[in-house]
Structure 1
Amino acid sequence: MMTIRPDIGKVVKERRKELGLTQKQVSELSSINKTTISEIENGRFIGSFDIFDKVIGSIDLEFIVRRKVRRIPNLDELEELFGDD
Protein backbone atom coordinates (compact mmCIF):
# COMPACT_ATOMS: atom_id res chain seq x y z
CA MET A 1 0.00 0.00 0.00
CA MET A 2 1.36 3.37 -0.96
CA THR A 3 1.01 5.87 1.86
CA ILE A 4 4.06 8.09 1.86
CA ARG A 5 5.45 10.65 -0.54
CA PRO A 6 8.66 8.74 -1.35
CA ASP A 7 6.60 5.75 -2.47
CA ILE A 8 4.45 7.94 -4.70
CA GLY A 9 7.56 9.61 -6.09
CA LYS A 10 9.12 6.25 -6.89
CA VAL A 11 6.05 5.19 -8.89
CA VAL A 12 5.96 8.53 -10.73
CA LYS A 13 9.65 8.27 -11.63
CA GLU A 14 9.33 4.63 -12.75
CA ARG A 15 6.31 5.46 -14.92
CA ARG A 16 8.03 8.49 -16.45
CA LYS A 17 11.05 6.37 -17.38
CA GLU A 18 8.80 3.57 -18.64
CA LEU A 19 7.28 6.11 -21.04
CA GLY A 20 10.74 7.32 -22.05
CA LEU A 21 10.07 10.86 -20.84
CA THR A 22 12.36 13.39 -19.19
CA GLN A 23 11.26 15.51 -16.24
CA LYS A 24 11.21 18.46 -18.64
CA GLN A 25 8.79 16.64 -20.93
CA VAL A 26 6.50 15.75 -18.01
CA SER A 27 6.71 19.39 -16.99
CA GLU A 28 5.54 20.42 -20.44
CA LEU A 29 2.75 17.82 -20.52
CA SER A 30 1.45 18.75 -17.08
CA SER A 31 2.16 22.52 -17.12
CA ILE A 32 3.97 22.03 -13.79
CA ASN A 33 7.48 23.36 -13.17
CA LYS A 34 10.32 20.85 -13.67
CA THR A 35 11.59 21.56 -10.15
CA THR A 36 8.23 20.41 -8.78
CA ILE A 37 8.43 17.21 -10.86
CA SER A 38 11.82 16.54 -9.26
CA GLU A 39 10.43 17.24 -5.76
CA ILE A 40 7.59 14.78 -6.38
CA GLU A 41 9.92 12.07 -7.64
CA ASN A 42 12.23 12.56 -4.65
CA GLY A 43 9.41 12.46 -2.09
CA ARG A 44 9.89 16.07 -1.01
CA PHE A 45 6.81 17.69 -2.56
CA ILE A 46 4.38 19.13 0.00
CA GLY A 47 2.15 21.12 -2.33
CA SER A 48 -1.44 20.76 -3.41
CA PHE A 49 -3.33 17.71 -4.55
CA ASP A 50 -4.18 19.57 -7.77
CA ILE A 51 -0.50 19.67 -8.72
CA PHE A 52 -0.03 15.97 -7.90
CA ASP A 53 -3.11 15.21 -9.98
CA LYS A 54 -1.86 17.15 -13.01
CA VAL A 55 1.51 15.42 -12.91
CA ILE A 56 0.25 11.88 -12.45
CA GLY A 57 -2.52 12.42 -14.99
CA SER A 58 0.02 13.52 -17.57
CA ILE A 59 1.73 10.11 -17.33
CA ASP A 60 -1.47 8.05 -17.21
CA LEU A 61 -1.54 7.37 -13.47
CA GLU A 62 -4.37 8.03 -11.03
CA PHE A 63 -4.90 8.28 -7.29
CA ILE A 64 -7.12 5.68 -5.70
CA VAL A 65 -8.60 6.42 -2.29
CA ARG A 66 -9.62 3.54 -0.08
CA ARG A 67 -10.25 2.82 3.55
CA LYS A 68 -7.03 2.57 5.52
CA VAL A 69 -6.16 -0.86 6.84
CA ARG A 70 -4.82 -0.73 10.37
CA ARG A 71 -2.73 -3.52 11.77
CA ILE A 72 -0.37 -4.18 14.61
CA PRO A 73 3.29 -4.48 13.54
CA ASN A 74 4.86 -7.91 13.91
CA LEU A 75 7.95 -8.56 16.04
CA ASP A 76 10.38 -8.32 13.11
CA GLU A 77 8.98 -4.91 12.17
CA LEU A 78 9.26 -3.71 15.76
CA GLU A 79 12.84 -4.97 15.96
CA GLU A 80 13.64 -3.10 12.76
CA LEU A 81 12.16 0.11 14.18
CA PHE A 82 13.61 -0.09 17.68
CA GLY A 83 16.60 -2.45 17.36
CA ASP A 84 20.01 -1.69 18.80
CA ASP A 85 22.03 -0.19 15.96
Structure 2
Amino acid sequence: MTFLYWIRVKDINERLFYIRKTIENGWSRNVMVLQIESNLYKHQGNAITNFASTLPALQSDLATETLKILFSHSGNGNGCITNF
Protein backbone atom coordinates (compact mmCIF):
# COMPACT_ATOMS: atom_id res chain seq x y z
CA MET A 1 0.00 0.00 0.00
CA THR A 2 2.78 2.47 0.86
CA PHE A 3 4.51 1.74 -2.44
CA LEU A 4 1.31 2.53 -4.30
CA TYR A 5 1.06 5.87 -2.55
CA TRP A 6 4.62 6.80 -3.60
CA ILE A 7 3.59 6.22 -7.22
CA ARG A 8 1.30 9.27 -6.87
CA VAL A 9 4.44 11.41 -6.52
CA LYS A 10 5.38 11.90 -10.17
CA ASP A 11 8.75 13.63 -9.80
CA ILE A 12 11.47 11.03 -9.14
CA ASN A 13 13.56 13.38 -6.97
CA GLU A 14 10.53 14.22 -4.85
CA ARG A 15 9.63 10.53 -4.56
CA LEU A 16 13.18 9.68 -3.45
CA PHE A 17 13.03 12.53 -0.91
CA TYR A 18 9.95 10.98 0.73
CA ILE A 19 11.43 7.48 0.64
CA ARG A 20 14.64 8.73 2.32
CA LYS A 21 12.75 10.75 4.92
CA THR A 22 10.50 7.79 5.71
CA ILE A 23 13.53 5.56 6.30
CA GLU A 24 15.51 8.23 8.22
CA ASN A 25 12.65 9.16 10.52
CA GLY A 26 10.82 5.85 10.78
CA TRP A 27 7.57 7.41 9.58
CA SER A 28 4.44 5.30 9.69
CA ARG A 29 2.36 5.12 6.52
CA ASN A 30 -0.02 7.73 7.94
CA VAL A 31 2.79 10.18 8.72
CA MET A 32 4.29 9.66 5.28
CA VAL A 33 0.92 10.31 3.61
CA LEU A 34 0.49 13.47 5.71
CA GLN A 35 3.95 14.66 4.67
CA ILE A 36 3.21 14.04 0.98
CA GLU A 37 -0.22 15.70 1.14
CA SER A 38 1.23 18.73 2.94
CA ASN A 39 3.94 19.04 0.23
CA LEU A 40 6.85 18.78 2.65
CA TYR A 41 9.25 18.47 -0.30
CA LYS A 42 8.26 21.90 -1.62
CA HIS A 43 8.14 23.55 1.81
CA GLN A 44 11.23 21.96 3.34
CA GLY A 45 13.63 24.54 4.68
CA ASN A 46 11.33 27.56 4.47
CA ALA A 47 11.07 28.14 8.22
CA ILE A 48 14.00 29.14 10.37
CA THR A 49 13.97 27.12 13.60
CA ASN A 50 16.42 25.34 15.84
CA PHE A 51 14.33 22.16 15.92
CA ALA A 52 16.79 20.07 13.93
CA SER A 53 19.69 20.96 16.21
CA THR A 54 17.85 20.70 19.51
CA LEU A 55 15.34 17.86 19.09
CA PRO A 56 15.55 14.23 17.98
CA ALA A 57 14.62 13.81 14.30
CA LEU A 58 11.05 12.60 14.82
CA GLN A 59 10.20 15.34 17.32
CA SER A 60 11.90 17.92 15.08
CA ASP A 61 9.74 16.86 12.13
CA LEU A 62 6.59 16.93 14.27
CA ALA A 63 7.41 20.39 15.66
CA THR A 64 8.08 21.71 12.17
CA GLU A 65 4.84 20.27 10.82
CA THR A 66 2.90 21.66 13.79
CA LEU A 67 4.12 25.16 12.95
CA LYS A 68 3.20 24.70 9.31
CA ILE A 69 -0.29 23.54 10.23
CA LEU A 70 -0.81 26.41 12.66
CA PHE A 71 0.29 29.00 10.12
CA SER A 72 -1.53 27.47 7.16
CA HIS A 73 -4.81 27.31 9.13
CA SER A 74 -4.55 30.72 10.78
CA GLY A 75 -7.38 31.87 8.52
CA ASN A 76 -6.36 35.51 8.31
CA GLY A 77 -4.27 35.20 5.17
CA ASN A 78 -1.14 36.82 6.55
CA GLY A 79 0.39 33.78 8.22
CA CYS A 80 -0.04 35.10 11.74
CA ILE A 81 -1.49 32.92 14.46
CA THR A 82 -4.41 34.79 16.03
CA ASN A 83 -6.59 32.13 17.67
CA PHE A 84 -5.73 29.42 20.15
TM-score normalised over the length of structure 1: 0.30
Higher relative contact order (CA 8 A, sep 6+): 1
Higher share in helix: 2
TM-score normalised over the length of structure 2: 0.30
